Structure 1
Amino acid sequence: MSTHTTPVEALLVVDVQSASVVGDGALPDAAGLLDRTTDLITRARQDGALVVHLQNDGQPGADDEPHTPGWELHLPVEAGPTETVIRKSHDDGFKETALGDVLAGAGVRSLAVCGLMSEMCVQATARTALALGHRVVLPYDAHATHDIPAAPGISGVIPAAVVSRVAAWAISGGADVTTQASDVGFTAPPRPNSPAGA
């Protein structure tokens, strides 16, 4: 793992929705995750980087079913030419969305990915970003997930921190996996004029 990174031009905030960060369904250390994510967003805004909030549209009856309290983004969005929300219905934030076009329109070549869940939407989105040729930074302490329940005859409970670590390790050959969100720096993309919305 590296301890410092070259500044990135965009921040992808993956599915930081109320159902997963407050109440009975909150992730372990949700408060810490929110603090670190807020810091990333604040610094990205200050430095002129593109900020994209991904918002998952869950199935009917799911905790993140559209237009239910759990579906709402938990952190405030400052919508404008360098900050936008993109809704998605797959783990991969690029699949059937405008994310690729938004990044290309801003000239983004490098990005950081944070949010949840580590082994699902964070990893899937980071993998596609790598496949598209972006430099990807994954701050280890700014993505999270739930414990995996015990499976009789297979394993006991797998702690959330272990799941996140494995998810990061699985893409560490291509992504720059940092130890702390505070190691991530930001800079404005060459053409910070991406469409605001999708």
Structure 2
Amino acid sequence: MKSALLVIDVQQALFDETPRPFEADAVVERINTLTAKARAAGVPVIFIQHEASDLEYSSAGWQLQPGLQVKDRDVKVRKTTPDSFLRTELEALLASWHTEHLVICGYASQFCIDTTTRRAAALGYPVTLVSDAHTTHDQPHATGQQIRAHENATLPNLDSFGPEIKAVATSELRFAS
């Protein structure tokens, strides 16, 4: 099954300001492990960057988090909503590569990760959510750790879309070459 790796919103303004997301540095390290595995298997790596009035295109905060290992052949996609497919070229890119499966990681677990995972499944893509490679900030109702655990438990139980959504740790993930 042809896969693509989506790295969502790991941007300076979201990762480098205090307070930082849950396990921010560890998540970046895990994402680097994932991108290295993907590239070694010939799997496309797509960095998705959010834009908003407080996260302007090309600003310092909009840039990818400096700890990420980004290569020239990686693709970057700009978005303006939590849905990485809405009003972006993502779906066309995936179709041009004949992608059949998505691996998703990044920020923010309860917003862009959740929304993109659901949309991908609705579009017919089986999804592997990398259970320890997505994060978020603490919220008034729950910690970042609790939110990540909630998403890891909830998304794999959505079967009404059809395609399987599963949560797998970085160490267990294998890309077929």
**Which residue does 2:153 correspond to in 1?**
169
Q: Which moved more, 1:70-79 or 1:101-110?
A: 70-79
Does residue 35 (structure 1) correspond to residue 29 (structure 2)? The answer is yes
Does residue 111 (structure 1) correspond to residue 95 (structure 2)? The answer is no
- Confirm or deny: 8 A CA contact 1:10 1:186 kept in the other structure: no
- Larger Rg, first or second structure (1 or 2): 1
**Structure 1 residue runs without a partner (length 5+):** 1-6, 150-156, 189-198
Q: Is the 8 A contact 1:13 1:114 kept in 2?
A: yes
- Of structures 1 and 2, the one scoring higher in RCO (CA 8 A, sep 6+) is 1
Classify 1:145/1:103 alpha carbon distance in 2 versus 1 (closer, same or farther; 3 Å). same
Read off the aligned partner of 2:28 and give its amino acid letter. Answer: L
Task: After superposition, give the CA deviation of every residue in 1:38-96 in whole Å (9 maximum; x if it has no partner).
Answer: 1001110111001111000121xx2x22222111012243233xx20000000000000
| Structure 2 counterpart of 1:194 | none
Q: For the aligned residues, what is the CA RMSD?
A: 1.5
SS at match of 1:101: helix
- Identify the match of residue 96 of structure 1 among 55, 77, 87: 87
Distance in 1 (CA, whole Å) between partners of 2:91 and 2:72 is 18
Shift of 1:164: 1.3
Moved more, 15-24 or 131-140: 15-24
Q: TM-score, normalised to structure 2's length?
A: 0.89
CA distance in 2: counterparts of 1:29 and 1:183, whole angstroms: 19
Tell me the residue number matched to 1:120: 111
Match of 2:129 in 1: 138
Q: How far apart are residue 8 of structure 1 and its match? A: 6.0
Residue 79 (structure 1) aligns with: 72
Secondary structure of 2:61's aligned partner: helix
CA distance in 2, matches of 1:54, 1:187: 23
Deviations 1:126-172 (A, max 9, x none): 111111111100111000001112xxxxxxx5111111111232211
Q: When the two structures are aligned, how many residues end up with a matched partner?
A: 169
Give the secondary-structure state (helix, strand or coil) at the position aligned to 2:75: strand
Alignment of 1:159 with 2:159, yes or no, is no
Q: State the Cα distance separating 1:25 from its structure 2 match.
A: 4.4
Return the alpha-carbon distance in structure 2 between the equivalents of residues 57 and 187 of structure 1.
Answer: 32
Aligned residue in 2 for 1:183: 172
